[in-house]
Amino acid sequence: MNAGIDFGTTNCSIGLLEDNQPNLQPLEGDNILLPSALYITKELISIDKIDAIELKRRIIGARSQQSAEIAKAKSQGRTIRVFNDDQLESRERAIMRREGAAHSQDKYEGQTITDSLNAGTDVFYGEEAIRNHIQFPQDGFFIKSPKTFLGAEITNSQVNLFGEIVSKILLYIKNKTEIQQTGDIENIVLGRPVNFHGTRGREGNKQALDILEKSSRAVGFKNIEFLMEPIAASLDYERSLLKNQVVLVIDIGGGTTDCSMVELGPSYKGNMDRQSSILGFAGERIGGMDLDKSLATRTIMPSFGRNSLQDTGLPIPYSIFDKALSINDVNSQRQFLSDVSRREIELYKTRAIDEYKINRLLTLQQGQFSYRLNRSAELAKIYLSDQDSIKLPLYYIEPDFFIPITRGDLKMSIGRQLDVFISLMKEVENQAGKKPDVIYVTGGTAKSPVVVECIRTYFGDIEIVVGDLFGSVTSGLTTWADTIYR
């Protein structure tokens, strides 16, 4: 079988061609979207057995120490309690058990993701991974949006680690689909952004593609091709066209935003080489997650002490709030969850004028609620697609705690990102040297009226078509897989 796979920042999906139509396959219950998340449980560490030789050595030492204490007490005219050998053994056994328990706890808390993966512990995917992280944040490792790390500056050991994580997600998708279809998937087309998240440019893109290709082969896919995600989205749109058009495609994903200007229509369908019909393309490492973070920074974090003053008149440092929201930055999260940060927050609490706000920040840190807070911001963005204002509940922080947010707040929060979207579209238009007949918008963030309104303001009367926000890329990848592998 041939398949198209969108290994997305926010969600993953897979499509097969059925009855000459792309059909996205259920991956989690009836849901065709699998959140790009893993939860790897820590290995349970049993208490070390009491070593008989060590116990005997300690009893001899305890007996010798007791003899010295008896002699000293006698010389001072005092009496002390004397333990027989059975009592000494019982005491030393209890001490060794406590030491063993403490050692086991240290080993449990000191595990790394690699340790747990090598131990073969349970791995959960998608919504199940998210639920486990929310319920048991300290009992496992949570990896959200691994795609954002693939093009970043990471060590060789981290390249191997993320390769294994990608392999696990791809294998889960492959197995789920093959069980339902009772057949093997051998050939795939994988979506790719114009530029992967990171600052390494071409080197980062090459690293990301290498990881994806090696991981795909490791799980049994034989032939792997890549297609830029905005081109894939345009191929899905092309299926509905009855005449040729020049289409400007903007795909606003979770971690990247990509644009392309493409010639589409009946004259181009089924062509094996579509390169000549691509008139321009551009991409930026900015997406829905950046919008969520900006919204949280502006509207949520002030209730956690951002902009609050200390008794010295100085504000609480902004860096600690940024680290709290940087869920896709391993180092930032590690720093925010560290004992050093806890002590800093406790110190700010003693100095803050709004102590109750800093107490919320401490709850956020100690409860490891960073991901839940970011998800709350994402939900706020989604709710504001249909409503002008909402009251966002944050009851996991404090009972009866909610924050009012308006669509105007969202627009103010994401102004910089909206400017990036428009600049990318303008860049592609300049590359093409012509205006589009249609603007085709896809990706989850495109659902927001704020985004569509911004595009309409800059591009006037050009028709805007909002596509299948979550399935157009996968459908286009599936269409291309059928074209090149038939």
The dihedral sign for the CA sequence 80, 85, 90, 91: positive
Phi, psi of 20 (to 5 degrees): 65, 20
Tell me: pLDDT of 50 over 80: no
- Please give the structure tokens belonging to residue 31: 């849901």
Using CB atoms within 10 A of its CB, is residue 118 exposed (0-12), middle (13-18) or buried (19+)? exposed
Crossing angle of helices 472-485/229-238, nearest 10°? 80
Q: Using only C-alpha atoms, what is the Rg of the chain?
A: 29
225: left (phi over 0), alpha (psi -120 to 50) or beta: beta
Give, rounded to a whole angstrom, the gap between the first and last alpha carbons of the chain.
10
C-alpha span between 371 and 37 (Å, rounded): 11
List, for residues 86-114, the tens digit of each pLDDT value.
Answer: 888 888 888 877 777 776 666 667 778 88
**Alpha carbon of residue 425 to chain centroid:** 27
DSSP state of 446: G
Q: Which two structure tokens, joined as six digits, stand for 471?
A: 């399935």
Which CATH number applies to 2-37+125-241+470-485? Answer: 3.30.420.40
Question: Which pLDDT score is estimated for 320?
Answer: 94
What's the rounded mean pLDDT across residues 130-153? 85
pLDDT at 345 over 70: yes
Asked whether residue 384 carries a pLDDT value surpassing 70, the answer given is yes
For 346-366, the three-class secondary structure string (H helix, E strand, C coil) is HHHHHHECCHHHHHHHHHHHH
pLDDT above 70 as % of the chain? 97
**Residues 204-230, mean pLDDT to the nearest whole number:** 94
Q: Would you state the torsion angle of the CA atoms of residues 55, 59, 61, 66, taken in this order, to the nearest 10 degrees?
A: 150
The one-letter amino acid code at 75 reads: S
Note the pTM of the prediction, 2 decimals: 0.76
Location of each CATH 3.30.420.40 domain in the chain: 2-37+125-241+470-485
Q: What are the φ/ψ torsions at residue 437 (nearest 5 degrees)? A: -80, -35
> Can you list the positions of beta strands (E) in 147-256?
187-192, 223-228, 245-252
Query: Can you give the pLDDT at residue 199?
Result: 67
Among 315, 288, 290, 291, smallest CA distance to 304 is for: 315
In the prediction, which pLDDT does 81 show?
81
The pLDDT score that the predictor gives to residue 486 is: 80
| Between residues 7 and 274, the one the model is more confident about | 7
Residue with tokens 């952004």: 193
Rounded mean pLDDT of the chain? 88
pLDDT grade, residue 46 (50/70/90)? low
Among left, alpha and beta (phi > 0; psi -120 to 50; other), residue 188 is beta
**pLDDT band at residue 444, thresholds of 50, 70 and 90?**
confident
Q: Answer whether 41's CB lies under 8 Å from 116's CB.
A: yes
Q: How confident is the model at residue 33 (pLDDT cuts 50, 70, 90)?
A: very high
Q: What is the percentage of the chain residues whose pLDDT exceeds 90?
A: 48
Mean pLDDT along residues 262-281: 87
Q: Give pLDDT, residue 198.
A: 66
111 versus 417: the higher-pLDDT residue is 417
**Positive/negative CA dihedral, 433, 233, 371, 209:** negative
Helices within 24-155 (DSSP H only): 52-75, 85-109, 113-119, 126-135
Q: What is the pLDDT of residue 477?
A: 95
pLDDT of 391: 95
pLDDT at residue 327 in the model: 81
Cα dihedral across residues 266, 270, 275, 280: positive or negative: positive
If 0-12 CB within 10 Å is exposed, 13-18 middle and 19+ buried, where does residue 173 land? buried
Q: Residues 174-183: what's their mean pLDDT?
A: 91
Q: What's the burial of 27, exposed, middle or buried (CB within 10 Å: 0-12/13-18/19+)?
A: buried
Q: What is the mean predicted confidence (pLDDT) over 389-401? A: 94
Q: What is the pLDDT of residue 122?
A: 87
Distances, alpha carbon 199 to alpha carbons 138, 196, 285, in Å: 31, 9, 9
* Backbone φ and ψ of 32, nearest 5°: -85, -10
Give the number of other CB atoms < 10 A from CB of residue 110: 10
